[in-house]
């Protein structure tokens, strides 16, 4: 379980809130702890509290309708106030939960909103107790006690967030109803004392759990929120870059070259923070899954950025070709290791057919060509992917077969265009540059790339390396 919030606050807002919270006294933190993780916890408990509130109100309504105790005008007025005071409390809660955390942390009036919400609720419940608690124990009083117990349990979950409000609310509820029962002789004093003792045992246990088991998770969630904000900022920048790339080719290519260093620094910093956070966590920590998922997202973002920078490098003519003898089998072995984990996670059978073919090529470019073709095949298949190389009329031919969804004939001409994506359902898995990079790298090396595909059956991509680039097998 994690309390890292799903929100759109910026990195600076989250960091500023954390800084303000660290600098504040214990008294200020007792009013409200406003980091995103704490507010996520408070939001969950607030929803539970509203359910408990309406459960109690409806229980009183049903009891009153079956066995009237108060005059009808008073009852109708009470029902109206139950709704009006609830709406007022919701209105006060909205800015506390939805304003940026640094604004709440820096504002004393906003930090007093939880106290105001509790005071409104307490006034309503004191009035409710005064008009509905009678000299006889009825279903009405039982519903109130059960409802107050539900509210108490939900409020103790808010202890790490706003302890002062929790104490005021719970004390007022139980002091009010126990006093009314004592004055009206609803229950003997010994029974009232036993009831209060049971309530405070439950209260103490829940508070202990809230403080000792949730506090560590909340502190960790603040770090996760900072990492999420950094990742979101990088993703937003990446998306803006992609749109920019579609409209202005020359400006796009120049910008990618200038921005590459900045992006790599950000991603490297995010990876280091994720690694540090993971090392500090135990294997049984609830935050491990969130940290690992965040690391996977950073790795995916790094892959996207690598493709973008490769494309920019090709477009600007910076991709120089360094020819050297290369064994295709050696490239296959590297790719097999690279995609082993991905194939296992996606339940895809990835096979490389052994070959002794040697060619003269740029090893890095050939690796990127096959890497993008295999990656593309892995996205679109849930069956098998086969990679093989053979000689055809003196040329070397590398083929990638998949059992994917296939590509419509009308899309064959556009499949190698930049930012083209065949399936809208899979757009979240890439930026539409993989096959465009393949086409540009093969053109740069003097190779040809071909496609044969059938809808519902799969596809075959073929890279043809001319005979002048092939070498005799090693003896």
Listed in sequence order, the residues at least 6 apart from 404 whose beta carbon sits closer than 8 Å to its beta carbon are 377, 379, 380, 381, 382, 383, 458, 459
Contact call for residues 390 and 355 (beta carbons, < 8 A): yes
Fold of 222-315: Methane Monooxygenase Hydroxylase; Chain G, domain 1 (1.20.58)
Closest CA to 227 of 273, 188, 196: 273
Report DSSP state, residue 283.
Answer: T
User: HSE-up of 351 (CA within 13 Å, CB side)?
Assistant: 10
Fold of 324-471: Heat Shock Protein 90 (3.30.565)
CB atoms within 10 A of CB 432: 16
Tokens for 302, please give them: 């790094």
Closest CA to 335 of 311, 351, 319: 351
Tokens for 26, please give them: 């214990």
* Domain ranges (residues) in the chain: 11-213, 222-315, 324-471
Which of the residue ranges 109-118, 221-230, 358-367 has the most confident prediction, judged by mean pLDDT?
A: 358-367
Report residue 77's pLDDT band, with 50, 70 and 90 as the boundaries: very high
| pLDDT for 128 | 94
Report residue 99's pLDDT band, with 50, 70 and 90 as the boundaries: confident
Listed in sequence order, the residues at least 6 apart from 187 whose beta carbon sits closer than 8 Å to its beta carbon are 137, 181, 195
Per-residue pLDDT tens digits for 328-340: 999 999 999 989 9
pTM: 0.44
């Amino acid at each position: 379980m994690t309390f890292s919030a799903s929100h759109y606050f910026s990195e600076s807002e989250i960091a500023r809130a954390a800084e303000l919270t660290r600098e504040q006294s214990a008294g200020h933190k007792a009013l409200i702890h406003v980091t995103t993780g704490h507010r996520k916890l408070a939001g969950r408990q607030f929803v539970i509290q509203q359910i408990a509130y309406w459960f109690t109100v409806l229980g009183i309504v049903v009891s009153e309708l079956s066995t009237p105790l108060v005059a009808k005008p008073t009852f109708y007025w009470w029902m109206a106030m139950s709704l009006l005071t609830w709406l007022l409390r919701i209105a006060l809660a909205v800015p506390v939960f939805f304003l940026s955390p640094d604004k709440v942390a820096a504002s004393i009036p906003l930090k007093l909103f939880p106290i105001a919400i509790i005071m409104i609720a307490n006034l309503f419940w004191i009035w409710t107790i005064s008009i509905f608690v009678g000299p006889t124990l009825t279903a009405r009083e039982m519903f109130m006690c059960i409802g107050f117990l539900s509210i108490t349990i939900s409020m103790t979950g808010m202890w790490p967030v706003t302890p002062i409000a929790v104490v005021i609310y719970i004390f007022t509820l139980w002091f009010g109803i126990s006093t009314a029962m004592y004055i009206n002789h609803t229950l003997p004093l010994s029974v009232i004392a036993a009831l209060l003792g049971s309530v405070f045992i439950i209260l103490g246990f829940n508070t202990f759990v809230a403080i000792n088991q949730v506090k560590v998770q909340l502190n960790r969630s603040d770090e996760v929120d900072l990492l999420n904000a950094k990742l979101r900022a990088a993703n937003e920048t990446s998306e803006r870059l992609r749109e920019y790339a579609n409209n202005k080719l020359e400006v796009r290519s120049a910008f990618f070259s200038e921005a590459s260093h900045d992006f790599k620094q950000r991603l490297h910093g995010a990876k280091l923070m994720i690694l540090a956070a993971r090392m500090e966590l135990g294997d049984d920590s609830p935050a491990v899954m969130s940290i690992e998922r965040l690391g996977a997202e950073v790795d995916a973002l790094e892959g996207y950025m690598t493709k973008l920078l490769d494309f920019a490098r090709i477009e600007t003519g910076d991709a120089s070709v360094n020819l050297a003898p290369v064994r295709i089998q050696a490239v296959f072995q590297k790719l097999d290791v690279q995609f082993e984990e991905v194939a296992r996670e996606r339940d895809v059978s990835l096979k490389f057919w052994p070959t002794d073919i040697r060619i003269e090529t740029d090893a890095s470019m050939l690796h990127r060509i096959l890497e993008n073709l295999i990656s593309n095949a892995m996205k679109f298949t849930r069956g098998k992917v086969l990679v093989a190389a053979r000689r055809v009329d003196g040329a070397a031919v590398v083929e990638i077969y998949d059992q994917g969804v296939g590509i419509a004939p009308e899309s064959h001409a556009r499949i190698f265009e930049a930012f083209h994506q065949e399936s809208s359902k899979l757009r979240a898995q890439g930026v539409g540059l993989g096959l465009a990079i393949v086409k540009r790298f093969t053109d740069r090396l003097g190779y040809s790339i071909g496609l044969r595909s059938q809808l519902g059956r799969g596809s075959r991509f073929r890279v043809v390396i001319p005979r002048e680039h092939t070498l005799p097998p090693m003896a």
